[in-house]
């Protein structure tokens, strides 16, 4: 009963949700300390050693604060919006394999929550539903800043979703499957087998990362919450835990986009070089490799945010529609040609 | 398990559809959100019928893109109160319901007629997967598929031309 397939799935969900939440807490600390380093100041260093307990203090603060709901707001939708943002952000992670199939307690356990046909589409469906959280928040707050933020967010996310989807099709063409588990399995061995090198997907990778930054509404594409024009965009009217849920959703989206980039382009949990041993030392190392690659991506996310200035809105749209979309189409044609000419063999 | 999911989805789908059309909620944005819930429920039906790929497309295209665009327009128009937009005129008041009832009657009779003596073979494991669907689309249904894509391109260019006379 304790290790029936359903129970195992539940354990996996439980572990992933907790790890993601822990990752969010860690990321807030990293973001604040790293931004401090970039700006030549100290950052939060009072709570615990190196300020490591700061996320806990922040969490307590968010829970103790007063919840303010605007009088003219649509209460139901105002309350649903942050929850929807958080849930859709988490759903997308369910198809990412964070390790190989391992043997634990005498049974085979795949280190992924769901392995369905068309797994990549699950992640895309979840991110495309993520727009609703922001749109609902923007509309229900009944404030012009929120509304403008929500409108900008939906326009931006729909525009960049196209480039994101098209850059993924290259990987799908090369691997011939939509299951992330199989895509990762094909990238085993040396690191030149990874899709970004062996699959000739360097351009697709760059497009995916740029579009990913826009999808997660991070700088230099954080138009929806541009402080100097919109106060705080779609979450202007939110306070306490509801605000913090938007915050968590943003960080989980960052983690998910990074995880997808690692899985589809950079070999997922594969080490990148053959090792002479197998069994538990290998899969432990592979999980570490996955986390390590993820950490590099998240570091770059923070680094970019505190280094680059914000785009103007028309520049953002021009980049999406006139830059990334044609590039992604060209990448698709190029990959199709390579596959048809048997240059890429999987 | 399957029937529980079916019942829950059906109730949700019917309830959200009623919210869209009944004059209980006089708020266009809430109605649009209810329609989005309805579309996701329909995707759930596709999953129950082992047509995962179409289910995912239903969510990505309809719920994720088209409904968001509709919401976008509604929010920009900012229609707060719709009471003054109520039905008016002879056609809307009398002919509309008549046409609706006629359409439902047509649907029911054609459904009943097609269900008589029909057999429902169980779908295989590969049914509804991306591979099977792609194989069918690019072999058996190749010409209809290409014709539809051409039609969509024409529609897109036409829309741009109509909206922007001077480019």
pLDDT tens readout for residues A81-93: 888 888 988 888 8
Residue that finishes a domain, picked among B82, B113, B137 = B82
Say if residue B133 is in the same domain as residue B65: no
Write down the pLDDT at residue B80: 60
Write down the pLDDT at residue A224: 67
Asked if B56 lies within 8 A of A118 by C-beta distance, the reply is yes
Taking the Cβ of residue A77 and every Cβ of chain B, the question of whether any pair is shorter than 8 Å is answered with yes
Taking the Cβ of residue B125 and every Cβ of chain A, the question of whether any pair is shorter than 8 Å is answered with no
Say if residue B72 is in the same domain as residue B15: yes
**Chain A CB contacts of B36 below 8 Å:** 132
Q: Is residue A61 part of a domain?
A: yes
A221 or A127: whose pLDDT is higher?
Answer: A127
Asked if A154 lies within 8 A of B68 by C-beta distance, the reply is yes
Which of A78, A133, A135 has the most B C-beta neighbours within 10 Å, making it the best mutation to test the interface with B?
Answer: A135
| pLDDT tens column, A256-298 | 999 999 988 888 888 877 888 777 788 888 888 889 999 998 8
Write down the pLDDT at residue B83: 55
Contact A101, A182 (CB under 8 A): no
Of the listed ranges A106-120, A317-331, B92-106, the one predicted with least confidence = A106-120
**Chain A CB contacts of B131 below 8 Å:** 117
**Chain B CB contacts of A151 below 8 Å:** 72, 75-76
Write down the pLDDT at residue B146: 92
Give the number of domains in chain B.
2
Write down the pLDDT at residue A221: 77
Write down the pLDDT at residue B81: 57
Q: Provide the percentage of residues in chain A whose pLDDT is more than 70.
A: 96
Closest chain A CA to residue B60: A125
Taking the Cβ of residue B130 and every Cβ of chain A, the question of whether any pair is shorter than 8 Å is answered with yes
Q: Is residue A180 part of a domain?
A: yes
Q: Is residue B52 part of a domain?
A: yes
Contact A101, A109 (CB under 8 A): yes
Say if residue B72 is in the same domain as residue B140: no
In the block, residue with structure tokens 């983690």? A255
Give the number of domains in chain A.
1
Closest chain B CA to residue A121: B56
- Tell which residue, A243, A298, A249, A257, has the closest CA to residue A90: A249
**pLDDT band at residue B87 using 50, 70 and 90 as cut-offs:** low
Taking the Cβ of residue A118 and every Cβ of chain B, the question of whether any pair is shorter than 8 Å is answered with yes
Return d(Cα A3, Cα A37) in angstroms, integer: 46
Residue that finishes a domain, picked among B82, B109, B141 = B82
| pLDDT tens column, A21-35 | 888 888 888 888 888
Mean pLDDT of the B76-91 span: 63
Q: Is residue A80 part of a domain?
A: yes
**pLDDT band at residue B155 using 50, 70 and 90 as cut-offs:** very high
Phi-psi region of A212 (alpha: psi -120 to 50; beta: other; left: phi over 0): alpha
| pLDDT tens column, A35-48 | 888 888 888 888 87
Return d(Cα A159, Cα A316) in angstroms, integer: 10
Establish, for the pair of chains A and B, how many residue pairs have beta carbons separated by less than 8 Å. Answer: 66
Taking the Cβ of residue B30 and every Cβ of chain A, the question of whether any pair is shorter than 8 Å is answered with yes
Compute the nearest-CA separation of B149 from chain A (Å). Answer: 16
Domain that holds residue B3: 1-82
Q: Is the pLDDT of residue A318 over 60?
A: yes
Q: The CATH number of the domain where B65 resides is what?
A: 1.20.120.1200
User: Following CA atoms A77, A81, A83, A85 in sequence, which dihedral angle do they give, to the nearest 10 degrees?
Assistant: 160
Taking the Cβ of residue B29 and every Cβ of chain A, the question of whether any pair is shorter than 8 Å is answered with yes
Asked if B60 lies within 8 A of A131 by C-beta distance, the reply is no
Residue A139: DSSP 8-state: H
Find the CB nearest B64 among A129, A147, A151: A129
Mean pLDDT of the B2-14 span: 89
Asked if B56 lies within 8 A of A121 by C-beta distance, the reply is yes
Which of B15-24, B86-95, B137-146 has the highest average model confidence (pLDDT)? B137-146
Asked if A158 lies within 8 A of B69 by C-beta distance, the reply is yes
**Chain B CB contacts of A139 below 8 Å:** 29, 71, 75
Q: Provide the percentage of residues in chain A whose pLDDT is more than 90.
A: 4
**Chain B CB contacts of A224 below 8 Å:** none
Q: Which residues of B146-156 are buried (b: 16+ CB within 10 A; e: fewer)?
A: eeeeeeeeeee
Q: Is residue B91 part of a domain?
A: no
List CB contacts of A286: < 8 A, sequence separation 6 or more.
A99, A100, A269, A270, A271
Asked if B52 lies within 8 A of A117 by C-beta distance, the reply is yes
Which of B71, B131, B132, B138 has the most A C-beta neighbours within 10 Å, making it the best mutation to test the interface with A?
Answer: B71
How does the average pLDDT of chain A come out, rounded? 83
Taking the Cβ of residue A161 and every Cβ of chain B, the question of whether any pair is shorter than 8 Å is answered with yes
**pLDDT band at residue B153 using 50, 70 and 90 as cut-offs:** very high
Say if residue B1 is in the same domain as residue B75: yes
Q: Is the pLDDT of residue A145 over 60?
A: yes
Domain that holds residue A92: 5-340
Q: Is residue A227 part of a domain?
A: yes
Taking the Cβ of residue B69 and every Cβ of chain A, the question of whether any pair is shorter than 8 Å is answered with yes
The whole-angstrom distance between residue A38's C-alpha and the CA centroid of its chain comes to: 23
The reply to whether ipTM tops 0.90 is no
Q: Is residue B123 part of a domain?
A: no
Residue A103, strand partner residues: A108
Q: Is residue A192 part of a domain?
A: yes
Q: Is residue A194 part of a domain?
A: yes
What residue ranges in chain A does DSSP mark as E strands? 101-104, 107-110
3-class DSSP state of B70: helix
Please provide residue A184's backbone torsions phi and psi, each rounded to the nearest 5 degrees.
-70, -40
Taking the Cβ of residue A330 and every Cβ of chain B, the question of whether any pair is shorter than 8 Å is answered with no
Q: Is residue B75 part of a domain?
A: yes
């Amino acid at each position: 009963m304790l290790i029936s397939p359903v129970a195992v799935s539940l354990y996996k969900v439980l572990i992933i949700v907790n790890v993601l939440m822990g990752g969010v807490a860690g990321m807030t600390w990293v973001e604040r300390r790293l931004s401090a380093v970039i700006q030549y100041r100290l950052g939060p260093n009072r709570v615990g050693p190196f300020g490591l307990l700061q996320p806990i203090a922040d969490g307590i603060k968010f829970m103790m604060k007063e919840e303010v709901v605007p009088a003219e707001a649509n209460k139901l939708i105002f309350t649903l919006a942050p929850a929807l943002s958080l849930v859709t952000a988490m759903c997308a992670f369910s198809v990412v394999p964070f390790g190989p199939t391992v043997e634990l307690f005498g049974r085979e356990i795949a280190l992924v929550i769901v392995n369905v046909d068309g797994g990549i589409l699950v992640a895309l469906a979840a991110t495309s539903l993520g727009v609703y959280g922001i749109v609902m928040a923007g509309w229900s707050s009944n404030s012009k800043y929120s509304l403008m933020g929500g409108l900008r967010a939906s326009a931006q996310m729909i525009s960049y979703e196209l480039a994101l989807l098209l850059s993924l099709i290259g990987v799908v063409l090369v691997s011939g499957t939509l299951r992330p588990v199989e895509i990762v399995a094909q990238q085993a061995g040396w690191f030149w087998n990874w899709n970004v090198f062996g699959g000739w997907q360097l351009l697709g990778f760059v497009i995916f990362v740029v579009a990913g930054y826009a999808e997660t509404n991070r700088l230099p594409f954080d138009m929806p919450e541009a402080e100097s024009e919109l106060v705080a965009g779609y979450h202007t009217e939110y306070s306490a835990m509801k605000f913090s849920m938007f915050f968590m959703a943003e960080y989980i989206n960052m983690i998910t986009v990074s995880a997808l980039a690692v899985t589809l382009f950079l070999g997922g949990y594969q080490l990148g070089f053959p090792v002479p041993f197998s069994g538990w030392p290998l899969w432990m190392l592979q999980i570490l490799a996955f986390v390590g690659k993820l950490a590099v991506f998240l570091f770059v996310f923070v680094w970019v945010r505190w280094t680059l200035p914000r785009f103007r809105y028309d520049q953002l749209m021009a980049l999406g529609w006139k830059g990334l979309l044609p590039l992604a189409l060209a990448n698709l044609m190029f990959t199709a040609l390579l596959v048809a000419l048997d240059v890429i063999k999987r | 398990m399957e029937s529980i999911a079916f019942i829950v989805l059906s109730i949700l789908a019917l309830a959200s559809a009623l919210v869209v059309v009944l004059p209980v909620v006089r708020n266009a944005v809430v109605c649009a959100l209810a329609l989005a819930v309805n579309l996701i429920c329909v995707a759930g039906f596709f999953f129950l019928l082992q047509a995962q790929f179409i289910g995912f497309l239903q969510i990505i295209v309809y719920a994720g893109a088209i409904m968001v665009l509709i919401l976008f327009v509604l929010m920009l128009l900012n229609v707060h109160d719709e009471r003054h937009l109520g039905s008016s005129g002879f056609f809307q008041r009398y002919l509309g319901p008549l046409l609706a009832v006629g359409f439902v009657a047509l649907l029911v009779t054609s459904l009943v007629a097609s269900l008589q003596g029909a057999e429902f073979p169980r779908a295989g494991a590969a049914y509804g997967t991306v591979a099977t669907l792609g194989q069918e689309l690019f072999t058996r249904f190749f010409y209809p598929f290409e014709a539809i894509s051409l039609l969509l391109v024409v529609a897109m260019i036409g829309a741009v031309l109509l909206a922007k006379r001077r480019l």
